[in-house]
């Protein structure tokens, strides 16, 4: 089977490598060809455009920053839709707007094409190890046809419901995990300001009821002062905005997220830290408190 992959950034490149390793004929495309060079050297083939890829591949996966990028790849000039054939399947693994994906899926039906929203959880580690969790919205029959492809990249493939439901599940997940990041930052600054060693505080929390998955990243990030982008602040802000938009669509309020967590994230983004890791949100609190949450060396 010919499989296409569009978007060979940090996540996409690792996911695509797993597809290639599973024995599929892999075609790749990225707006920066140099980003795809490692995959091309490993045996993947280059498609000159999404349109060309659609003509070559039965299934195309996308891993892109956000809704506008996905819309452009699908319906833009030389987009996938210009090369679609009846029976093709498009799988978007981005964290996307449910409304956007429902619109794309509805328009794709006019071409005889199935679209699945299949965002992932597990981060770069999961992408490298092939242990991602896929949350899939769309046709169960279409999912069955691409299941073996997704199995190359993930251990859990969960059909959530109709189109858009995969992205809804992902936004719920990220609302919780990103909010935990801001809460952890505030609590750690309080603890360190009050005299507790941050490494000891982490040990205590990991063994107590305050434990959460966001704390797993502290040893390689906050405690050693490494804020290189594992999950960019700009992407965290994008996901929170999408969650707030989803709540608005359903006439709901998210007071904790909107009034506390989101405001901290947006302030950090306004400082120009969007390309850094989302844990940079702690810098605002550290500056205000006059301390840094770092483990003692030696």
**48 dihedral zone (left: phi>0; alpha: psi -120 to 50; beta):** alpha
From the list 17, 51, 45, the residue with the least C-alpha distance to 33 is 45
Give the dihedral of Cα atoms 242, 243, 244, 249; nearest 10 deg: 90
Q: Please tell me which residue in 170, 193, 200, 232 is annotated as part of the active site.
A: 170
Residue 45 annotated among the catalytic residues of the structure: no
Contact of 95 with 167, CB cutoff 8 Å? yes
For the stretch 242-245, contacts whose Cβ atoms lie closer than 8 Å and that sit 24 or more positions apart, written own/partner, are 242/67, 242/95, 242/96, 242/97, 242/171, 243/171, 243/172, 243/174, 243/175, 245/97, 245/99
Positions marked active-site: 170
């Amino acid at each position: 089977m010919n499989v296409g992959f569009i978007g060979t950034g940090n996540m996409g490149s690792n996911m695509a490598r797993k597809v290639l390793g599973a024995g599929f004929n892999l075609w790749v495309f990225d707006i920066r060809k140099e980003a795809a060079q490692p995959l091309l050297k490993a045996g993947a083939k280059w498609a000159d455009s999404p349109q060309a890829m659609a003509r070559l591949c039965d299934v195309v996966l996308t891993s892109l920053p956000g809704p506008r990028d996905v819309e452009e790849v699908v319906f833009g000039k030389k987009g996938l839709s210009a090369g679609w054939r009846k029976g093709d399947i498009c799988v978007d693994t981005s964290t996307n707007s449910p409304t956007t994906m429902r619109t794309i899926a509805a328009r794709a039906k006019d071409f005889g094409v199935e679209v699945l929203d299949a965002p992932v959880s597990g981060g770069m580690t999961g992408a490298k190890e092939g242990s991602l969790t896929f949350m899939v919205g769309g046709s169960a029959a279409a999912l069955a046809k691409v299941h073996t492809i997704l199995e190359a990249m993930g251990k859990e493939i969960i059909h959530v419901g109709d189109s858009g439901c995969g992205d809804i599940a992902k936004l719920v997940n990220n609302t919780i995990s990103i909010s935990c990041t801001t809460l952890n930052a505030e609590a750690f600054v309080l603890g360190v300001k009050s005299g507790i060693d941050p490494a000891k505080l982490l040990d205590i929390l990991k063994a107590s009821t305050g434990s959460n998955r966001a704390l797993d990243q502290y040893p390689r990030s906050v405690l050693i002062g490494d804020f290189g982008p594992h999950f960019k602040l700009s992407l965290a802000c994008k996901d929170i905005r999408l969650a707030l938009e989803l709540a608005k669509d359903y006439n709901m309020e998210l007071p904790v997220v909107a009034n506390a967590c989101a405001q901290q994230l947006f302030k950090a983004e306004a400082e120009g830290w969007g390309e850094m890791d989302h844990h940079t949100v702690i810098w605002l609190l550290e500056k205000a408190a006059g301390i840094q949450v770092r483990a003692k060396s030696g």
